[in-house]
A and B are shown apart, each in its own frame.
Chain A
Amino acid sequence: MLSPQRLRQRAVFVQQIRAFFQAHDYLEVETPIRLPFSIPEANIRAIQSEGAWLQTSPELCMKLLLAAGNERLFQICRCFRGEEVGRLHLSEFSMLEWYQVGWDYQDLMQSCEAFIRSLLPWALACQESEDSRQLAQASAVKTGDCLQYQNRSLYFPATLWPRLTVEAAFTRYASISLAEALATDRFDECLVVEIEPNLGWAAPVFLMDYPAEFAALSRKKTTDPSVAERFELYIGGIELANGFSELIDPGEQRARFEESLAEMAAQGQKVAAMPERFLTALGAMKETAGIALGLDRLFMLLADLPHIEAAVSLSPPDFLAPHPGLP
C-alpha cells in the first residue's frame, strides 16, 4: 500500500502526464475495458469476464477511433494480463497510450523524449523530498538531468537519446548473434538476461527495428522488410514503452492474427474470435504511429521504488489476511 506521501506523489505524476498531453493538443479518450474480442497475441493471456475479454491494452479500441477520423489521441486506463506477476509485472496495471496520424516510429521516439523530459522536474522534486536522498540529489539538481534509481544514476541528456537496433544490441551485449538467437529460439532469453540490464543508464535507449516475426501490430520497414518499425524504450534496464508505425494493411494483419490464433490454440489456450470489426476499420486508417507505456513502471522508476507493487495504491499482498497476532 502506498504511503500518504507516495499516494500524493502518484496523483501529481498522473496530473503531470495529463497536463503534457493536453498542452500538446491530444484528445483524452476512454474506451471499454470488457470487449467482445481480444488481440490475438500468442504471448499475452487475456482474462475473461462473463464471456467478454478484459483488454490487454486499449490498442484495438484506439484504432477504431483513429479509423473514424480522430487524429491525435491519448488514454490512461487499466489493462489486464493473466499469469504476469513479478518485480516488473502486475496482472492488473495502468497503461498510457498515445497515437498520432501521419507519424512514423521515428516521430514517436521524439515525442517520447519530450514526454519523459516533461516529467523530470517533477521527478527531481519528488526524489529531493525524500530526506535520505537530499545529499545524493544536491549535485543532480544542478545538472537537471540525473535521477537516482536504486542507488544508481540515471541520466537524461538534453540531446537526442540513443537509437539502437536490435541487431546491434545483440552484437554489443549478447553472447550470440541475433541470427543465432533466432535460430535457437533464445531471442527472449538473451534480451532479458544479457541485453536489457545494460540499457538506459547513461541515457534512455530506444531499442528498435525488431525482427519481423516480433512485429505484432507494427508495419514492416519498406527499406528492409526483415525488420519491423517497432521500438521499446528502456530506462535503467527497464522496458517502459512499446511503440510502432502501425500496420494498416487488413490482409497482412489478418494473416498475422491467424498465425497467432493457431499458435495459441496449439498451446491449449482459450482464444477469442478474430476481431473482424477491427480488421474492417483498419482499412480506413491512415498512416499512424502509436505507443503503449506502462504507467506503474514509469512511476516506480522516477520515484525510485524497488518493484512495481511499491508503485501502486494497492497491490495483491494488500488483500491478504493480516498476519495473526498483528493489529
Chain B
Amino acid sequence: MGGDNVSKLKPEDKKDILSIALRSGCKKMGNHVAWPAHSADNVIPITSCSEKNMYSASDLRKGLKVDIDGEPYIITDFDFSKPGKGQALYRTKMRNMITGNQFTQTYRSHDKFKKADLEERTMQFLYAQGDEYHFMDTVSYDQVALSKEQLGDSQKFLMDNMEVAVLFYAGTRPIAVNLPIFVNLAVTRADPWAKGDTSGTDTKPVTVETGYELQVPPFVEQGDKIQIDTRSGEYITRVKE
C-alpha cells in the first residue's frame, strides 16, 4: 500500500511527513513493483521539485505519465473509490514505459507524483546494425541508438532516412519511437492474382521493402507503393507516384 506508511503514524507526526513527497524508492520484483516501507532516507522532500512538476492523487487519470523511482510510467486504468465516511482511494494500473512491466497500486489523497520528464524529438533513421537502430537529430546531428525491443512494432515500417519522433526520458534517454501514422512502402513480393480465383478470399499476402508481410487487395502488384497505417499495421491504399 502506497500511503499506508503515513497513516500508521501518530497524528502529530503526520504534519511533517505530509509536507513531503511520498513516492520514491520502489523495487522491482518480477513483473511487479514493490513499495518499500518509507524511512527518513528514502523520501524526497517536495521542495526538491517545483510544485508545477508534481501531480497529486486527485490528478490521476488514464493516460497520465508519472515518474516513479526514476522511470516513466503511464496510467492504463484508473478508478476512484471511497467507502462511506472513509478515505478516498485512487486505484491505478500502470505500465512502465521502458520495461513494459505492469502493476496495480492504490493511492490516497496525500500521495504526490512527479511528472514523467518526456520529450519528443524529430530524428532521422540512419541504419540498423544487429539489434541496434541508429537515429540522428536533424538539427543537432546528435545520434542515438535504440534496441529492436524498444522499437517494438515500429521496426516493421522503418526505412532509411525516414523521419520519426524519438521519445526521450529525462532529456537524454531514448525509450521509444513514434512513427508517422501513415507510411508509404514498396511491395517487393506479391504473387500475381489469378483471374477467376474462386478461393473466395478477397485479400492476398504481400511483402514490403522492410520485410513486413501484410494482407492487401488482390490488385496490388509487385513494385506498387502502398500506404500502411502504422498503428494497426493494415493496408490503406495504393499510392501512385
* Residues of A bordering B, CB below 8 Å: 41, 43-44, 83-89, 184-189, 191-193, 196, 214, 216, 232, 239, 242, 262-263, 266-268
Asked if A89 and B83 make an inter-chain contact with CB atoms under 8 angstroms apart, the answer reads: no
Closest to B85 in A: A216
Given A87-B79, A263-B11, A187:B18 Cβ within 8 A = no
Q: Is the CB of A83 within 8 A of B8?
A: no
A191, B83: Cβ atoms closer than 8 Å: yes
B-to-A contact residues, CB < 8 Å: 1, 4, 7-8, 11-12, 14-15, 18-19, 58, 79-89, 91, 106, 109-110
Instruction: Output the nearest chain A residue to B109 by Cβ-Cβ distance.
Output: A83
Asked if B86 contacts A187 (CB within 8 A), the reply is yes
Q: For the complex, what is the distance from the CA of A37 to the CA of B121, rounded to whole Å? A: 53
Q: Which residues of A contact B83 (CB under 8 A)?
A: 188, 191-192, 196, 232, 239
Report A-chain residues with C-beta under 8 Å of the C-beta of B15. Answer: 266
Nearest CB of B to A43, in Å: 5
Contact present for B109 and A188 (CB under 8 Å) = no
Cβ–Cβ contact A232 & B84, under 8 A: yes
> Quick one: which of B81, B82, B91, B110 contacts A267, CB cutoff 8 A?
B110
In the bound assembly, the distance between CA atoms of A214 and B84 in angstroms comes to: 9
- Are A185 and B82 interface neighbours, CB within 8 A? no
Chain A CB within 10 A, most for which of B8, B79, B84, B86: B84
Q: How far is the CB of A111 from chain B (nearest CB, A)?
A: 18
- Chain A residues with Cβ below 8 Å from B91 are 192-193
Asked if A43 and B87 sit within 8 Å, CB to CB, the answer is yes
Would you give the shortest CB distance from A294 to chain B, in whole angstroms? 10
Is A85 touching B80 in the complex (CB atoms < 8 A)? yes
Closest residue of B by beta carbon distance from A241: B84
User: Separation in Å of the A168 CB from the closest CB of chain B?
Assistant: 17
Give me 16 A-to-B residue pairs in the complex whose CB atoms sit less than 8 angstroms apart, sorted by A's number. Answer: A43-B88, A84-B82, A87-B79, A88-B81, A89-B82, A186-B1, A188-B86, A188-B87, A188-B89, A189-B106, A192-B82, A192-B91, A232-B83, A262-B11, A263-B11, A263-B14
Per the bound structure, the CA–CA distance linking A250 and B85 in Å amounts to 20
Docked CA distance A262–B15 (Å): 11
B86:A43 contact, CB within 8 angstroms: yes
Which residues of the other chain, B, contact A85 by a CB distance below 8 angstroms?
Answer: 80
Contacting residues, chain A, for B87 (C-beta < 8 A): 43, 188
A-B complex: 4 closest residue pairs judged by Cβ atoms: A86-B80, A188-B86, A185-B7, A242-B84
- Shortest Cβ distance from A43 into B: residue: B87
Instruction: Write out the residue numbers on chain B whose beta carbons fall within 8 Å of the beta carbon of A41.
Output: 85
Complex contacts, B109 vs chain A, CB 8 Å: 83
Beyond the given pairs A216-B85, A267-B14, 14 more chain A to chain B contacts, judged by CB atoms under 8 angstroms and listed by A's residue number, are: A44-B85, A85-B80, A186-B1, A187-B86, A188-B83, A189-B106, A192-B89, A262-B11, A263-B11, A266-B12, A266-B14, A266-B15, A267-B110, A268-B19
The winner among A41, A186, A187, A266 for most chain B CB atoms within 10 A is A266
B residues within 8 A CB of A239?
83-84
Q: Are A214 and B80 in contact (CB under 8 A)?
A: no
Closest to A231 in B: B84
A contact residues around B12 at 8 Å (CB): 266
Residues of B within 8 A of A88 (CB): 81
Cβ contact within 8 Å between B85 and A83? no
Given A85-B80, A266-B18, A267-B14: A185 in contact with B4 (beta carbons within 8 A): yes
Assuming the contacts A214-B85, A266-B14, A267-B14, asked whether A189 and B1 have C-beta atoms less than 8 A apart, the reply is yes
What are the residues of chain A within 8 A of B1 when measuring CB–CB?
184-186, 189
Q: Give the residues in chain A near B80, CB-CB below 8 Å.
A: 84-87, 89
Contacting pair B85 A43 (CB below 8 A): yes
Q: Which single residue of chain B is at the shortest CB-CB distance from A265?
A: B15
Hey, which chain B residues are within 8 Å of A214, CB to CB?
85-86
Nearest CB of B to A264, in Å: 11
Q: Using Cβ atoms and an 8 Å threshold, which residues of chain A touch B89?
A: 188-189, 192
Find the B residue at minimum CB distance from A41.
Answer: B85
Nearest B residue (CB) for A84: B82
Which chain A residues border B106 with CB–CB below 8 Å? Answer: 189, 193
* Bound Cα distance A267, B82 (Å): 18
